[in-house]
Each structure stands twice: as C-alpha cells, then as structure tokens.
Structure 1
Amino acid sequence: MCGLALTGTVAGLPPEPAGAETARTLAPGEEGSLLEECPPGRAGQAARVSDPDAAVPEGGELTPQQAEDYDRRFREALVPLRGQEMQAPRNVPVVVHVISAEDGRGDVPQARVDDQIEVLNTAFSGGYGTDGADTGFRFELSETTRTVNDTWFTRFDEYRDTIRAELHRGGAGTLNVYTAQLGTGLLGYSSFPQDYEAAPDQDGVVLAHDTLPGGGRDGFDLGHTGTHEVGHWLGLFHTFQNGCASPGDYVDDTPYEREAASGCPVGRDSCPRKKGDDPVTNFMNYSDDGCMTHFTEGQARRIVEHWAAFRS
C-alpha cells in the first residue's frame, strides 16, 4: 500500500524542501515503518470516501507535490490583486444535474435538491456550530436538469468527461453539481478552481445521489458530502493534507492531522508534536456527516481569495 492512502491509513510523507519546517518526528519504534510514497496521480479532483477501498477517480488524494503546485498557482494569481478588497459573492448560482436510471434509481426529488442548497447555506454561514466561521458565501439554485440514462447513472466516472461537457452550464462562478451512482465507498469528488481555465466544461462537483439530505447513505446522508466537495471547488484541501508535515493544508488555524478521520473521533491527536487536537469536526475531513460542524476563519479567507483569483 502506498503512503497517501485513504480513510484509516497512515500517510507517509516525502522529505520536505530545504528551508521548510522539519517533517514530523518519528515516535519511538516507528523508524522504518513509514509507507512508500504513492506514485503521482492525476490532479484535478479531490474526493471524499466512506470506504478505504473505494475506487477514487483521477488520483483523488493530492500528493504533496500536487498540493504545492496548486498553492503556487494560487499565490501567483493573487499577485495582481494585491491591495484590492476581496469579498465573497452575494450569491453563487447553482445548477444541479440529476442523472438517474430508467427504473427510477437516483431520481432525486426536488425537495432533496432544495434541502442540499439549504445545507450549503447553513454550513457556509457558520450555522452548524458555535465555532463555525461565516465564510460569506451563499448559494442559490438557478436550475435543476434531469437526465435518464442507465449508462451515465451506473458508470458515471467512465463517461464523466462527456457527461460534464454536455450538461455544464454557466461560467467560472456557476457551481455545477452532478448526482449519480458512484463506486462503492465513493461519496463524491470535485475540481479545483485552478483547473477551470484549462477545462471549463469539466468544472464542478460530483455527488453520490444518496448523499444528498435524506438519501439514506449510512452516516453520510445529511448533505455534508456536498459541503465538503464545494469546499474543494472553492480551493480548500483536506485537513489531513501532508499529514503532520508542514505546511499541512495551507491554512494556519486548522491543526495538523496525520490521517483522515473516520466516524467521529473527537479528541484524537495524531500529530502530538503539533498544537491542537485533530480537526475531525471540520467540513474538509472524512468524518461522518453528523460529526461535521464548521469551517475556520482561515479557510473562509482562503476561499474568498480563491474566488477573487479564479472565479469572480
């Protein structure tokens, strides 16, 4: 098994660049136990899973090198914006593309689509916990499209480029959400804002249809897969990006975390030499929906800056 694995596995990290903070110190007896580094995957997607054996599209987990490249492109895009006031948009238009089978599987009722938009607005306004930041982002459903296609529904990942190219609406500031049946354990995935210019018709968020509110996905049917993936769409990495090694997820106020959380292990401290317990209740983790409560102020600033750099 390679190092940058999925939920419940330890992340082995490559050496840090010169001048960076020293990568995590090995605990006694841990020497030689680190997993080998994963071969580079294709960037452009970040996934959320409920099963460590899930088939994750396009790499899913970013390598440290890929995350560093995304951050470099982000910082370069901010240079011409220095001195300008950056704000979240008043409303982000959302187009939800419901893809279903001929027998009715996946035909998400409009009420559940509306509930998903409400979940996004509550989450991004800090409404799920006293420690939640109001990011300033609000979302407004502008259209729901419905496509009945057995092949697209059951084999979305295989045909995703064609599906997204045919169904995509709007520009960089329009959130396109696609719902279908995904692989076992795979909850959803998203593009990053840095990739919009190169592939605008592939931009958006993909969700397993049963992760929308009331969908019946055990542990994951409150709509926070949508919250998580929209966080990626706005530029955030997983809280466990880079494990215990600097710079973590590139956000100062999210504690370091060696590996993704599963369930709701509140109080876990997988990077004891770093400040703070693991951010298991953060929306950018892999915790169960009922465990997730907030984005941080640092994450809120980062998504506003990404919006200004790539989507405004």
Structure 2
Amino acid sequence: MKKFTFKVSFLLLTGMFALTANAQQPAGTKKFGKPFITASKNCGTTEYEKHLEENNPKRASKEQFEQWLAPKVAKAKANRIKKDGNGTNEIVTIPVVFHIIHNGDAVGENENLSEARILSQIQVLNEDYRKAANTPGFNENPVGADMEIEFALAQRTPNGLPSNGIVRYNIGDDNGWLMEEVELLKPQTQWDPEKYLNVWVVDEIVVSGGWLSGYAQFPVGSQLDGLDGQTSTANTDGIALGSRFVGSENYAPDGPFEETRNMGRVASHEIGHFFGLRHIWGDTVGCTGTDYCDDTPLAFMANYGCMTGLDSCPESDGADMIENYMDYTEDACLNTFTADQKDRMQAVLANSPRRKTLPTADSLIPGTASLDNDGAVYLLPFNTNCSNAFSPVIAFANRGTNDITSAVINYSIDGGQAVTYNWSGTLTPGTDERIILPQLSVAEGDHSFSVTIAAVNGGADALASNNSRANDFTFDTIPAESIYNTDTVKITIQTDEKASDITWILMDSDQNTVGFGTLYEDTPGGVLIEEEIAVNSNSCYLFAIIDNGQDGMPGGYYTLETTDNTLIKQLDGEDIDVIDVVPFGVNVLLGNKDVQRGLNATVLYPNPANNILNIATTDAANTPEGYTIYNSLGQVIDSGKINTALQSLDIAGYTDGVYFVKLAKGSASQTLQFIKY
C-alpha cells in the first residue's frame, strides 16, 4: 500500500485539495489554515475536546465538568476507603466494537488488522485495567490500583445479529485521515453508544508535524444533574486509533507496529480519557497543571522515552510517574493506574451518560436475528481536482444474509432533484464495493450531498437505519488572479545562516509531492536554493515554505515564478511567520481559462456565458461530431451534432450554474465546463 510520506509532516497544506465533509467547518475555511497541533505519535484528546467545545458552544467546559464530577469522585473515594480490606467493587465488563477502516487490503494486511491483533488489544486492556499478575500490566506501586474493569468484544449487533465485535469498511484511502474526516465516518458507522464502546481504527490520523496515535471523546455530565443546556455529541462518542498503535507485538506479531508504542498501551491511555482521566501533567507546562488526582505527582510537562527517576517538579512531592498510562512514555514503561484515577473512573462509570449503561447492556449476549436483504451505504470524504467538478465515491455494503445482485441508489446536491444510480453485480454477505458516481459540480460556497438506498434485490431494504447518508461541505475556488499559463514553476529561496531550519514543498491536487527540500547545511550568508519544476495543465498546486526555527529568514527571501518569469509570489524572509502557503492553479478550467484536452483543440467561449455559448475548434480535422450538455447533477440538458468549426448554442433559458459539455468524435471524447450566469 502506498504511503504519502510527506503528508504526515505537511498535512496542513493539503486541505485546499479536498471537499471536506465536516458539518461544523465554517464556510471558507481551508484545512491548511487550521492551527498547528504540535503532536507526533501522541494523543489528540485535548485538541479534540477544544474542537468539540468550539463547534458545540453548549458542551460543558472542563471547569463545568470537573465541578459536576468532584462530589461524585469524593463519594467513590469514600466508598473505596470504607471498603478497604473488606471486599472490592463488582467487576464490570465493557462491550467493545472495533470499526476497521481500510482501503481494500486483505484482512491482516496494513491497516486491515487481523482478528488476532484485535484480540491481543483486548488482552492488553484486561491486563492493564485489572493490574493482572505476571503480565506487563502488573505493578507493585503502593498507589497502583486494579480498576476492576474488563473488556470483551461484542457478540451481537445493535439489531440482534450475531457478531464477533469487528466490523470492516472499505472506505479508506492511503493518504491518512484528518481528524475532520474521522469525524465524518464516526456517525456513519457507530453502534449504539449506550451499549458499545466504539473503537475506530484507521491507517493514520495525520496532523501538522506528524500523526496522532489516537484520541478519545471525553465523557459528559448527566443533564439530569445540571450542566444547563449542554450538548453530548453522542453520534461521535468513542475512541479513534492509528492502526500501527493497536494490539501488542508480544501477542500478535503480525505488524506493522510503531516502534516504541507496540504493546497496546495507546488504547489503555485513550480509554482512560473515555472514562474521565486526564494527562498526569494537567496539559499545562510548568508544574502548575492538575489531573485532579492527588496520588499522581506534579510533572513539568509530558514525558517521553523512559527516564526513570525523573523529578521535573522538585519543589513538590514525588518523582514524575512516568509509568502511569496517562503519560506519553513508551509502552514498555507503562503499568500503572492509581487509586485516585480509579475513583474518577468509577465515578464516571456510575454517573456519565453512555458510560453508566455499558456494563448492563445486552451487547455480550450472542445475537440470533437475521436480515435477508440489507444493503448499507457509506460516504467517503470528497476529493476534487482544482475545478469545481468532483465524482462522489460511496461504499455499498451487504450487511444481510442474502447475496445482493441489484440496488437502486438515489443521490442529490443541496436537496435538488434526485438522480438515480442503478447498481448490479454480486455482493456476498459481509462484503462491500466502492461506487464512483457520475461527475458533479458545485459553485463556490456551502453545499450538502445526500445518498439513499431506495431498493435492494428489487424490493425494500430490510433495515432503513443504514440506508441514508448526508454531509455538508464547503468548496472554495482558486481566484482567477492565482491561475497561470506556464509549464514550470521556478522556485528561488535565499535562506539565512540557519538553512537547516528551512523546509519547502510543492504538492499537486492529488496530494503528490512534486518538489521538496530540507536538511540544508547551516552556512554563513545562507544557502541559495534554485529549482525549476514541471507542472501540468488543468492542475492546482500548493507551495509552502516552513521555518522550523520559527524566527524567519532575516536577510533572506523566496520567489515563485512562471516559465516566462511572471511573479506568482515573493516574500522577504522576515515576513515568514513559521509557514507561508501559496495555492495557485495552472491553466485551470475556471472563468475564461479554457484548456485544450484530448486530440481536439476545442474551446468554449465566452465563459462565463449569458445567452450564447460558442464551441470553437481551431483544428478542422479534429472537429467533434456531436455534443451533450449536462447540468451539475449529471442530467442531460441538450445534445446535437456539430457541423462547423464554430457552432453557437442558445443557453438563454438555462438556469444559472455550472454545466458540462461532452464532445465526441468516434470513440474519443472530452468534457469541458462552462458557467451560465
């Protein structure tokens, strides 16, 4: 499976090339404009909680949650002290479902993890949460606690069907997942969060500066107990993990694994968050943060590696508890939850929505139900080229017991007239197939796409709950003034003496790196970098220059130029604030920039057009034989023959919007785009 090597370092650059399905994303926001998340192979729960609070203003703040939780923790602690030496709490079992998001790899390859890997993860959770003797989860720490929580894979689906607690979805790609994209797939695939701990596994969760090992949704307080008007975001509740961090290499060595986080402790950490635990340094640098647990000593900041005996806050009692699961140390160092952490977890488990119902759910009772004809549909994140045309991709899955040989699927943009797609083939139970729908186009701004299964095997689908999907997205065009006629891009960079701080990258709209430079040698007077890189017509590109030292390039500069020396961008080094990003297009089908494609030198003009659209061919020998015009939903608006090198079409009666003209000559064809206003 191909990996896009540079995406993990420069993910913030790639957003201009995606129609991101994200209902909460403000109009006009591009991914490369989002703040840095300075994490690599670490937990993203803190950043995720900030994201939830920003997009759900009524969601309880950290302070509100802690105010709600404090008396419940005190009660749990009092009960623990009272019962010390006189028994234990009832051991509870949490039903877990793993949603494996893959891109077509065979089971056991790459991110499509084997059942053995998943079972090894369950084994690790039970060792860690039970402080199991003679396992890596055991400790002799005086404050080390048996959390009295166990985990098991679910044995029934929410509809009562038999299950092994592992569901596989062929809806991924090999370029990693933004957190926003993970949030898109969660509501589509989630099982009832009142009955299951949902765990999503994707190949990589990529952020600027690296990738996340995982992240969790923190619990909320019960609305019955206060927290006026809070929102719960129930349809995204659970944890997400990068596939390389799942399971233990000790028990299921079929990799790949992350080198130092290869024992399944990332899941132990994230589930700790899921049940209300915070990082032991309190997410505040400087010995001032708190995780609300008195028996975890203060730490200056997150710890890495395995530095035994470290005391980063010497003025407070106790050395850093690098062995605590809620630190960032390597898996081999971790083996401790504390008594106070147990009190927090038990309080959440007894009181928090979608936590308190898990131990009593029927999810571990083997399912016996059956569904004959059950199709399910899932939306993949939209990708687009640099025009406003894109082809939605869906995954059509058979979740029933019969083979599916036909299906009727309806889809639409912005609630407009539905378009019908008739699928036929053979889909056996438990399998899926990707469907690329006909090309659509949208104008700049906010939009909504929806898809619904209308029929399966000539009749009604047996289960309606997985038949419909919808997502909102925003499309931002590249301004006409940022589109250039050129065959190459000339890059000139004059660094300062700290040349090793400078990294640059040029990417195309398919997220391929077409130019890259880093690890330059520090030199008095700086380094002069000169590159000329070939670019393609009808393509979008993004150039970025990054100052890892975050102090600019005093005395330096950079320029981007076309083949004929037209300036795309010039910036003095002092003005580079960590990163400068330049999106631009090359001969893009926007405005009056028409492209000759295929064998035909054919253009449309004027474009945009109001009353008359001309189809002009400069090579009479290659004049198209006919044309077909489609609207943005793929519906045929007009068609006809072409008998002259300049043919005029009356479009005065067309509704304003984007249209496509398909030109045909023999077996060859090309499609051009125009805008009616």
Tell me the TM-score range normalised by the shorter chain.
0.7 to 0.9
Query: Which deviates more from structure 2 when the two are superposed, residues 103-112 or residues 249-258?
Result: 103-112
Counterpart CA distance in 1 for 2:91 and 2:194 is 12
Question: SS at the partner of 1:263?
Answer: coil
Counterpart CA distance in 2 for 1:52 and 1:136 is 24
> How far did residue 185 of structure 1 move?
3.3
> How far did residue 74 of structure 1 move?
2.1
Gaps of 5+ in 1: 1-40, 42-46
Paired residues, number: 264
Query: Which deviates more from structure 2 when the two are superposed, residues 187-196 or residues 216-225?
Result: 187-196
* Cα gap change, 1:295 to 1:76, in 2 (>3 Å): closer
Match of residue 511 from structure 2: none
> How far did residue 272 of structure 1 move?
0.8
Match of residue 92 from structure 1: 94
> How far did residue 307 of structure 1 move?
0.8
* Cα gap change, 1:199 to 1:153, in 2 (>3 Å): farther
> How far did residue 266 of structure 1 move?
1.2
Greater helix content:
1
Structure 1, residues 177-211: CA drift from partner, whole Å, max 9, x if none? 10002113310000011179611111101111011
Kept in 2, the 8 Å contact 1:48–1:229? The answer is: no
Match of residue 176 from structure 2: 154
Structure 1, residues 62-96: CA drift from partner, whole Å, max 9, x if none? 9xx95433312323777999999995652100011
Counterpart CA distance in 2 for 1:208 and 1:48 is 14
Kept in 1, the 8 Å contact 2:281–2:289? The answer is: no
Match of residue 110 from structure 1: 115
Trace 1:200-279 onto structure 2 (pairs within 5 A): 200-212=234-246, 213-214=248-249, 215-241=256-282, 242-243=284-285, 245=287, 248-279=290-321
Query: Which deviates more from structure 2 when the two are superposed, residues 133-142 or residues 180-189?
Result: 180-189
Trace 1:26-37 onto structure 2 (pairs within 5 A): none
Aligned match of 1:101 in 88, 100, 103? 103
Match of residue 338 from structure 2: 296
> How far did residue 299 of structure 1 move?
0.6
Amino acid in structure 2 at the alignment position of 1:252: D
> What percentage of aligned pairs have identical amino acids?
26
Q: TM-score, normalized by length of structure 2?
A: 0.36
Counterpart CA distance in 1 for 2:146 and 2:76 is 23
Kept in 1, the 8 Å contact 2:245–2:264? The answer is: yes
Question: SS at the partner of 1:219?
Answer: coil
Question: SS at the partner of 1:154?
Answer: coil
Aligned match of 1:145 in 146, 151, 167? 167
Kept in 1, the 8 Å contact 2:43–2:215? The answer is: no
* Cα gap change, 1:202 to 1:80, in 2 (>3 Å): farther
Match of residue 66 from structure 2: 71
Match of residue 41 from structure 2: 50
Aligned match of 1:163 in 185, 195, 204? 185
Question: SS at the partner of 1:106?
Answer: coil
Kept in 2, the 8 Å contact 1:240–1:258? The answer is: yes
> How far did residue 166 of structure 1 move?
1.2
Counterpart CA distance in 1 for 2:43 and 2:129 is 27
Trace 1:275-286 onto structure 2 (pairs within 5 A): 275-286=317-328
Counterpart CA distance in 2 for 1:88 and 1:191 is 25
> How far did residue 113 of structure 1 move?
0.2
Match of residue 19 from structure 1: none
> How far did residue 222 of structure 1 move?
0.7
> How far did residue 50 of structure 1 move?
3.0
* Cα gap change, 1:298 to 1:78, in 2 (>3 Å): closer
* Cα gap change, 1:48 to 1:207, in 2 (>3 Å): farther
Counterpart CA distance in 2 for 1:69 and 1:188 is 25
Kept in 2, the 8 Å contact 1:244–1:274? The answer is: no
> How far did residue 297 of structure 1 move?
0.9
Amino acid in structure 1 at the alignment position of 2:322: V
Q: CA RMSD in A?
A: 3.4
Aligned match of 2:217 in 191, 201, 206? 191
Aligned match of 2:145 in 119, 133, 137? 133
Question: SS at the partner of 1:279?
Answer: coil
Question: SS at the partner of 2:149?
Answer: coil
* Cα gap change, 1:247 to 1:88, in 2 (>3 Å): farther
Kept in 2, the 8 Å contact 1:187–1:211? The answer is: yes
Kept in 2, the 8 Å contact 1:95–1:174? The answer is: yes
Kept in 1, the 8 Å contact 2:145–2:337? The answer is: yes
Q: TM-score, normalized by length of structure 1?
A: 0.74
Amino acid in structure 2 at the alignment position of 1:182: I
Structure 1, residues 86-125: CA drift from partner, whole Å, max 9, x if none? 9565210001111111245310000000000010000001
Query: Which deviates more from structure 2 when the two are superposed, residues 296-305 or residues 244-253?
Result: 244-253
Counterpart CA distance in 1 for 2:315 and 2:168 is 50
Larger relative contact order, structure 1 or 2 (CA cutoff 8 Å, min sep 6):
1
Match of residue 121 from structure 1: 126
Question: SS at the partner of 1:185?
Answer: strand
> How far did residue 141 of structure 1 move?
0.7
Counterpart CA distance in 2 for 1:207 and 1:144 is 14
Question: SS at the partner of 1:146?
Answer: strand
Gaps of 5+ in 2: 1-34, 54-59, 81-87, 155-164, 223-230, 250-255, 357-677
* Cα gap change, 1:294 to 1:76, in 2 (>3 Å): closer
Counterpart CA distance in 2 for 1:159 and 1:168 is 14
Greater strand content:
2
Question: SS at the partner of 1:282?
Answer: coil
* Cα gap change, 1:293 to 1:266, in 2 (>3 Å): same
Kept in 2, the 8 Å contact 1:268–1:278? The answer is: yes
Question: SS at the partner of 2:200?
Answer: strand
Query: Which deviates more from structure 2 when the two are superposed, residues 164-173 or residues 117-126?
Result: 164-173
Counterpart CA distance in 2 for 1:278 and 1:101 is 41
Counterpart CA distance in 2 for 1:109 and 1:173 is 24
